[in-house]
Homo-oligomer: A and B are copies of this chain.
């Protein structure tokens, strides 16, 4: 049976991906600097080998044969997702894959110092090649999919979504978001917020983080918490490696960062075991992945009852009992404080979508050839002024040079962040129809919440399309009204 051969082939790929994931995690969290050269070479060889397996010529015939076999719904989903990944991998010539990878690595590497030095000309000189090769890639993908270049890039991260739907979604958000931000900032001016004064030893912060992970039912038999400069969730579903970074003068960042990564981790830990190693058993999309981390961080983590429980826990474990900065009320204010800032990764829940929409509009037009890469700094400045009232003129480091995503040509990724926030709000709204979420949080036993997520999202892997998944879970496809309602309820 061809489907069996296909399944075995993808399981074989997954073993090399396992190595890739763990070596990547190790490079970020353990590896001494002198190990970098050999590690990069090993990772490049693994990537080359995985690409070779992912584009194996025999797959096309197997797909055709399997399409004629009598398949169950699950088997059809297995076939569909394998074929989707195969098409994404095979459509781009190997020369282009390699050229983009090299240009991306070089641009990203140089960017790490160029950003600090606000060196736009230096960056632009490398980046033009990355943009050029990415547009070449987008063009080829567009022809194969009969869609626009940017739509084609979106399929890498959000299969099934389109510029048309994002234009509507984000266009609508732009109508109400800037006013809401101004209103909330105005309203919060009267608040006085205490900043908890450190130092908070990293070891105490780690113990606190692990205790919160336990409450969030992270399975420590199938994962770990470690440290890295840039926090992430890596590893494999049966051994999920999340990382954080401790700032001894501020515990709030690492704590909420751990909650965020725990959301990613529980999605991975909850993926369907029986589909391990095949694409249909993987997370549905970057947006759905982000919906889980943001469900944990925003829907649960900033929920007043949850803040209440961690405020006393944090005071105890950080030896700060009696410190007025650790009251529930103060932490709630701290974790919902809204500020207009330059930096996306530092943005609060309310201003974050403005950062994403700005990037979406620019990368969409860049991939579709409507603008040139040299237009980006000016456009960035105009849009920052329009959405957040800030100018980034001549401030490249805090403007268009701030993110890593574009340095290696990951155009199409940014929308996932705000899609995730929207899905998270919609899941919470749907969940509340059958579950008393407030009571569950207050009781300290979040099992009903996690059971809902497991049943409706985690255990589904990629068996359904995103639209089907969301519709089965919530009764409707993506509806941004839930996100707007959530923000108005929380912030007004």
Contacts and interface: CB of A to CB of B under 8 A. Distances in A.
B276 A34 contact: no
Nearest to A222: B34
Contacts of A373: none
Given A22-B23, A22-B26, A42-B15, A37 B224 contact: no
Contacts of A32: 220-224, 239
Interface in A9-48: 12, 15-16, 18-19, 22-23, 26, 30-35, 37-39, 41-42, 44-46
A83 to B, nearest CB: 23
Contacts of A236: 35, 38
A254 B42 CA distance: 32
The CB with the most chain B CB atoms within 10 A, among A41, A221, A238, A239, is that of A239
Contact of A34 (B16, B33, B41, B221): B221
B222 A45 contact: no
Contacts of A309: none
A262 to B, nearest CB: 15
A221 B15 contact: no
A114 interface: no
B38 A276 contact: yes
Contacts of A235: 35
A65 B42 CA distance: 28
A477 interface: no
A26 B18 CA distance: 12
A18 B33 CA distance: 16
Contacts of A46: 15-16, 19
Interface in A35-67: 35, 37-39, 41-42, 44-46, 49
A15 B20 CA distance: 12
Interface in A96-119: none
Contacts of A219: 34
A236 B26 CA distance: 13
Interface string A135-167: 000000000000000000000000000000000
A23 B17 CA distance: 12
B221 A30 contact: no
Given A12-B45, A16-B45, A45-B16, A238 B22 contact: no
A449 to B, nearest CB: 23
B19 A239 contact: no
Nearest to A38: B238
Contact of A26 (B26, B42, B238): B26
A41 B42 CA distance: 19
Nearest to A25: B26
B34 A239 contact: yes
A385 B44 CA distance: 56
Contacts of A37: 238
A12 B52 CA distance: 14
A235 to B, nearest CB: 8
Nearest to A35: B239
B223 A45 contact: no
A236 B40 CA distance: 13
A265 B98 CA distance: 35
Interface string A167-191: 0000000000000000000000000
Interface string A345-375: 0000000000000000000000000000000
Interface string A210-230: 000000000111111000000
A278 to B, nearest CB: 13
Given A34-B221, A38-B238, 6 more contacts: A18-B41, A19-B42, A26-B26, A33-B221, A34-B239, A38-B236
22 contacts: A12-B45, A15-B42, A15-B46, A16-B42, A18-B38, A18-B39, A18-B41, A19-B19, A22-B22, A22-B23, A31-B239, A32-B220, A32-B223, A34-B222, A35-B222, A35-B238, A37-B238, A38-B236, A38-B237, A38-B238, A38-B276, A49-B49
Kindly list the 9 A-B residue pairs having the minimum CB-CB distance in the complex, ordered from nearest.
Answer: A35-B239, A15-B45, A34-B221, A34-B222, A18-B42, A19-B19, A15-B42, A38-B238, A32-B221
